[in-house]
Homo-oligomer: A and B are copies of this chain.
Amino acid sequence: MTAQQVTIALDALGGDYGPPETVPGAVQAAREGIRVLLVGEPQALEEELRRHNALGLPLRVVPAEGVVQEGEPPLQALRQKPRSSIALCARLVHEGEAHAFVTMGSTGAAMAAATLELGLLEGVERPALGGPILGCAPQTLLLDLGSHVDCRPGLLVTFGALGIAFARRFLGIPHPRVALLNVGAEEGKGNRQAKEAYALLKASGLPFIGNIEGHDLPFGRAEVVVCDGFVGNILMKLVEGLGEVLAGWLRQRLPHAHPLAEEMASMLNVVDLYGGGPLFGVRGVAVVGHGRSRAPTIARALRTARRCVQVGLVEGMEEELARLTATPSRREGGENTPPKTGDPSPSPPPGDRR
């Protein structure tokens, strides 16, 4: 598949600003050869399109009715609005009209629509949220970022496998490492969940390097850091708040439009880097970005989605999950048992372990 052939459905109504930002974002991506289906209210979209020099670009409007708002109970809203922009986006992927969809709308709605229309990979119960949270450590993914709280320890192994697929395929890191976010470096540290997850990760066949602590995160000491979504979400949002406060402080302290303030913002803020992140564990590419994204960020999210398609992210995730399932500790129901010596299950390639 060449870059030219990727078609992406964009939820043109999702996000805080709607068509005035989604349409120019789509136009920008279309100029780079991405085919974009603009899913939303046709009149508003056509009108916005006329404001841009979009003639001849691979853009097409797909009429939708209504939008699922942030805060609406997702499943109920999807049932009530079966032709809402997010529902239609997921359906276009399901029906093969698009290779991926992108939304800046409600994450809950995107997760529900993706689950219903595209389904989940084997062993996944709901889409996981993950991605780099620090601009200064852009190759360190944190999973989960809030879709799973009170995880059973085995889920952290699943996050590890999903993250590894992203690190290998999307980031192109040949030997990514998985670490467990914990309160101490030594084995045996942490809460019950972390202690059990440690044992399961150790036996999982994943390239597990042990615990890392909060202060390791900015140094990028692992590519995939797994944690409960309760912790991940609070960390991600703390970094967001810090970025705002610190960049604001630096802007105030430095002469007008000093590049350092922007550089500082980018040390923390990472959303702008990819425009959004894929839903992990979904049987299809669904990229979700921040509601407050503007056109350039939306264009980046479209590029991210294209790359997820081109590198075969979904196949990669499937592969990593299958490899896990083949290890004894998972076959035996996620029990905390080390792999048996001489077990015939396929071992990971040598490069997988560090």
**A residues at B contact (CB < 8 Å):** 134, 136, 146, 149-150, 181-183, 190-192, 194, 213-219, 227-231, 233-242, 244-246, 249-250, 253-254, 260, 263-264, 267-268
Contacts and interface: CB of A to CB of B under 8 A. Distances in A.
A153 B178 CA distance: 31
User: What is the oligomeric copy number?
Assistant: 2
Contacts of A146: 183
Contacts of A191: 149-150, 228, 230
Enumerate the 3 nearest inter-chain pairs by beta-carbon distance, A residue then B residue, closest first: A214-B237, A215-B241, A214-B238
A242 B267 CA distance: 10
A218 B242 contact: yes
Contact of A240 (B134, B182, B215): B215
Contact of A234 (B136, B214, B240, B249): B214
Given A146-B183, A235-B235, A242 B241 contact: no
A216 B240 CA distance: 10
Nearest to A216: B241
B241 A217 contact: yes
A215 B236 CA distance: 8
Contacts of A149: 183, 190-191
Contacts of A183: 146, 149, 229-230, 233-234
Contacts of A217: 238, 241
16 contacts: A146-B183, A149-B183, A150-B191, A183-B230, A190-B230, A215-B237, A215-B241, A215-B244, A216-B241, A227-B234, A231-B234, A235-B235, A239-B242, A242-B242, A246-B246, A254-B260
A235 B249 contact: no
A105 B169 CA distance: 46
B230 A194 contact: yes
A237 B134 CA distance: 14
A267 B241 contact: no
A214 B194 contact: no
Nearest to A186: B71
Contacts of A249: 136, 267
A226 B85 CA distance: 40
Contacts of A237: 213-215
B267 A238 contact: no
